[in-house]
């Protein structure tokens, strides 16, 4: 059924007034009747065709009550609509019948409710119906119903150029109090730069008006003086309309039947809910783009090239300045070319529209599910989120709408639903201001972390590590040295000072420290979890060298001691590496701060407490591993009573965590012992302690791949100089940590 709607009045009705429109609609009617006649020959017996014929020809003023014929025909149409949807022609006929009120207002709403298109909605039909709205006889509730219908079917309207041509006409309905929210939504979807229309600025500060205005402001900032909050409540409500479920049902049903036909294959491609279908839109064939080309708007001399007509990167470059974005911003996600365009051009309106669409889609699909969420594990949801993730990966930044969605989602998440995807999205969140980070992120994450399995704990640790990496990258790209403010690219809505950024990062690191301590405590110092935690601290200790951010945060005692006393040598090795990096970096930072004295560095004032902490850790570690004496200093994380240790009857307890007796390294010591004295029956590990053997033993350990340990030992031995009183050291310089790496 090819819809033949080449209306004679169409080409010269570019600036339609009411009179033009009525002419236009009548001529449309005529061509409809012609089409009907042709088909009548073939399908004269089909009751559905007869019903349509009835509705297209019925005289105005025919009574409804007691009219069996209209009832019978309407039932036929309703049945067809709910079972397989209406063809474009049928939609035109029925919409025209309903909106013209030929048989009064009662039938109008009923017909609207069953207007479920099988494939597309012809634009002309919608335009005609909008014009009927202006006639003013339709009751308000029906008007609202109609606009809701247009909003629901918006993606299915085959082209939008004529609708955009009557933008001003649609705009005039803004003054209607009841229609305003819906009209604003429709205008939002239709607005382009040319059509920003502020003669009759909508009044009020309701969210829907603000949303429209925010779009206007993007297009024409000079016209909108209102200040608009950077993040708004999603302004247009989800209309839980009667059509949606029927539409989904019909698309599912048609999916198996009509897939081969070209025009339908695309709507059907991502079968399922209408939301996902949008991914197919970029690949829509010439239909909408051709119409766009023909309808060159008289007002603008600018020639626009629809994005979907471009097929290569060179084409994109050539047409960069005259690209027209597609009607459905969601389709951008599916095309790498479109993403490249987004990335180069940094078109704020594109981001705004994309964010709007995305926020709407995420909210409707994952937070406000119609069926209680059973469909959530479906392939579609997975594909959708994976697509979103790869887009964010491509653009190297997250969308603000997905961020807002995440905050809401985390507060109702069970921790297992779509876990990889959600954690992936979480890794991409932009920097959160420190004043809100606790409420938005930390509270829900803390609960999820502590009540979930070890697997989740590891996953979250990895995710938080990625968050930190993303933030640091962001900082190193946008921060200008010696500057308080981090300069921002235009479409990021975060305004952040350097100290604000530093606070957020500190909050994050401290939060991870808390989580890590608690996690290790609850999971009995699980070595897998420990490994993920040490990953995080490796990132932290390299913030200065790799990202130029002078940040010193020591791991909390709850992480340091479990890692030092762990039973697997890898954890000890990695901790040694981290301590070596700190020892390497702290003196460097110190001299940098002393030399420059600029504000940038002073933002990172590092407290004496931090240095003292580092010195204590280092001292404990060296004395434990290398010097075979455990020194418990007052005021340090671990406190053990001397008497208690004596009571334990462990001989020479102070040597138990030296590299020879440490549970993680004892097997190496035994191995080494056997290699040195192959025939010796009774093993005396203490014999490794003499200085020559000890050096060999360390070399032996280093050959086993313990590079962290190697750096740590060599770094500390080379520092050896005049001994200082470490216990009272609260010096700002770590180089005063003169560690006696004496070999006892």
Binding site for another protein (CB under 8 A): 229-233, 240, 366-374, 376-377, 404, 407-408, 411-417, 433, 436, 439-440, 443, 446-447, 450-453, 493-495, 518, 521-522, 524
Nearer to another protein, 70 or 358 (CB): 358
Q: At what angle do helices 707-718 and 691-703 cross, to 10 degrees?
A: 140
> Which of 463/734 has CB closer to another protein?
463
Residue number with CB closer to another protein (376 or 527)? 376
Smallest gap, in angstroms, from Cβ of residue 126 to another protein?
Answer: 27
CB of 456 to another protein, least distance (A): 9
Smallest gap from residue 240 Cβ to another protein (A):
7
Structure tokens at 22: 């009525």
CB burial class (10 A; 0-12, 13-18, 19+) of residue 635?
Answer: exposed
Please state, in angstroms and as integers, the Cα–Cα distance from residue 356 to each residue in 57, 352, 360, following that order. 42, 6, 6
Burial 602-627 (b: 16+ CB within 10 A, else e): ebbebeeeebbbbbbbbbbbbbbbbb
- Report the nearest approach of another protein to the CB of residue 228 (Å): 11
Q: Could you tell me the two tokens for 118?
A: 């099988």
Q: How far is the CB of 245 from another protein (least distance, A)?
A: 11
What stretch of H or E contains 711? helix 707-718
Minimum gap (Å) between residue 208 Cβ and another protein: 14
d(CA 271, CA 291): 26
CB-facing half-sphere around the CA of 39: CA atoms within 13 A: 19
Nearest CA among 613, 547, 539 for reference residue 581: 539
Find the shortest distance in angstroms from Cβ 387 to another protein.
21
Cβ(398)–Cβ(430) below 8 Å: yes
Q: Please state, in angstroms and rounded to a whole number, the distance separating the CA atoms of residues 427 and 468.
A: 8
Q: What are the tokens at 234?
A: 């999603």
Identity of the residue, 132 or 442, whose beta carbon is nearer to another protein in the bound complex: 442
CB of 114 to another protein, least distance (A): 23
Closest CB to another protein among 436 and 608? 436
Taking the complex as a whole, the smallest distance from the CB of residue 407 to another protein amounts, in Å, to 5
Q: Which is nearer to another protein, 263 or 447 (CB)?
A: 447
Of residues 20 and 364, the one with the C-beta less far from another protein = 364
Nearer of residues 175 and 521 to another protein, judged by Cβ: 521
C-beta contacts of 451-455 below 8 A and 24+ residues apart: 451/415, 452/415, 452/416, 454/523, 454/526, 454/528, 454/529
Return the number of the residue (377 or 591) whose C-beta is nearest another protein.
377
Q: How many residues does the chain have?
A: 744
Closest distance to another protein from the beta carbon of 359 (Å):
11
Rounded CA-CA distance 550/200 in Å is: 53
Nearer to another protein, 233 or 647 (CB): 233
Specify the DSSP class assigned to residue 121.
B
End-to-end, the C-alpha distance of the chain in Å comes to 94
């Amino acid at each position: 059924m090819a819809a033949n709607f080449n209306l004679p009045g169409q080409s010269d009705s570019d600036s339609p007034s009411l009179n033009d429109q009525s002419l236009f609609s009548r001529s449309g009617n005529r061509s409809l009747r012609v089409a009907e006649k042709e088909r009548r020959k073939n399908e004269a017996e089909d009751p559905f065709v007869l019903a349509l014929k009835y509705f297209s020809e019925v005289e105005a003023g025919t009574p409804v009550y007691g009219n069996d014929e209209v009832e019978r025909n309407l039932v036929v149409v309703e049945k067809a609509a709910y079972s397989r949807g209406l063809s474009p022609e049928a939609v035109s006929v029925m919409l025209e019948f309903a909106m013209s009120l030929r048989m009064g207002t009662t039938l109008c709403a009923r017909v609207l409710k069953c207007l479920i298109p099988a494939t597309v909605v012809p634009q002309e039909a919608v335009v005609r119906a909008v014009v009927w709205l202006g006639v003013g006889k339709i009751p308000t509730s029906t008007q609202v119903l109609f606009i809701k219908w247009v909003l629901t079917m918006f993606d299915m309207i085959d082209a939008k150029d004529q609708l955009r041509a009557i933008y001003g006409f649609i705009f005039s309905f803004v003054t209607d109090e009841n229609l305003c929210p819906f009209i604003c939504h429709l205008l939002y979807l239709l607005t382009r730069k040319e059509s920003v229309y502020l003669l009759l600025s909508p009044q009020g500060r309701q969210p829907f008006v603000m949303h429209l205005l925010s779009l206007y402001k993007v297009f024409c900032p000079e016209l909108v003086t209102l200040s608009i909050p950077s993040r708004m409540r999603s302004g247009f409500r989800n209309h839980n309309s009667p059509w949606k479920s029927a539409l989904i049902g019909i698309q599912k049903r048609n999916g198996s039947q009509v897939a081969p036909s070209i025009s339908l294959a695309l709507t059907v491609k991502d079968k399922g809910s209408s939301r996902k279908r949008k991914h197919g839109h970029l690949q829509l064939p010439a239909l909408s783009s051709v119409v766009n080309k023909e309808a060159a708007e008289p007002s603008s001399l600018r020639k626009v090239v629809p994005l979907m007509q471009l097929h290569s990167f060179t084409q994109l470059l050539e047409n960069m300045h005259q690209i027209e974005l597609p009607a459905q911003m969601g389709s951008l996600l599916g095309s790498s070319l479109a993403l490249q365009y987004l990335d180069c051009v940094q078109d704020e309106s594109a981001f705004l529209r994309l964010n709007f669409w995305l926020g709407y889609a995420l909210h409707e699909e994952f937070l406000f599910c119609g069926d209680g969420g059973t469909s959530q594990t479906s392939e579609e949801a997975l594909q959708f989120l994976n697509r979103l993730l790869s887009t964010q990966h491509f653009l190297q930044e997250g969308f603000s709408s997905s961020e807002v969605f995440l905050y809401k989602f985390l507060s109702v998440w069970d921790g297992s639903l779509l876990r990889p995807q959600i954690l992936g999205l979480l890794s991409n969140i932009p920097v959160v201001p420190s004043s809100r980070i606790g409420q938005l992120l930390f509270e829900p994450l803390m609960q999820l972390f502590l009540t979930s399995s070890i697997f989740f704990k590891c996953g979250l640790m990895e995710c938080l590590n990625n968050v930190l990496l993303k933030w640091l990258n962001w900082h190193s790209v946008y921060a200008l040295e010696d500057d308080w403010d981090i300069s921002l690219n235009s479409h990021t809505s975060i305004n952040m000072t350097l100290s604000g950024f530093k606070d957020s990062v500190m909050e994050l690191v401290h939060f991870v420290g808390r989580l890590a301590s608690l996690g290790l405590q609850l999971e009995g110092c699980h070595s897998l979890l420990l490994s993920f935690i040490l990953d995080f601290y490796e990132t932290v200790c390299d913030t200065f060298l790799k990202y130029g951010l002078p940040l010193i945060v020591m791991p909390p005692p709850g992480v340091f001691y479990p890692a030092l006393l762990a039973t697997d040598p890898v954890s000890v090795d990695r901790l040694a590496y981290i301590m070596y990096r700190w020892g390497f970096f702290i003196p460097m930072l110190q001299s940098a701060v002393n030399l420059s004295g600029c504000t940038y560095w002073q933002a990172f004032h590092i407290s004496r407490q931090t240095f003292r902490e580092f010195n204590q850790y280092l001292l404990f570690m060296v004395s434990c591993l290398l010097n075979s004496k455990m020194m418990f200093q007052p005021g340090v994380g671990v406190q053990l009573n001397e008497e208690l240790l004596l009571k334990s009857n462990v001989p020479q307890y102070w040597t138990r965590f030296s590299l020879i007796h440490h549970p993680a390294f004892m097997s190496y010591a035994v191995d080494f012992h056997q290699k040195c004295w192959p025939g010796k029956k009774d093993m005396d590990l203490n014999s490794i302690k003499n200085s020559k053997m000890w050096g060999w033993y360390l070399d032996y350990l280093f050959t086993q791949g313990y590079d962290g340990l190697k750096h740590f030992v060599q770094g500390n031995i080379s520092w050896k100089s005049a001994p200082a009183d470490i216990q009272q050291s609260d010096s700002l310089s770590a180089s005063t940590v003169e560690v006696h790496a004496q070999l006892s």
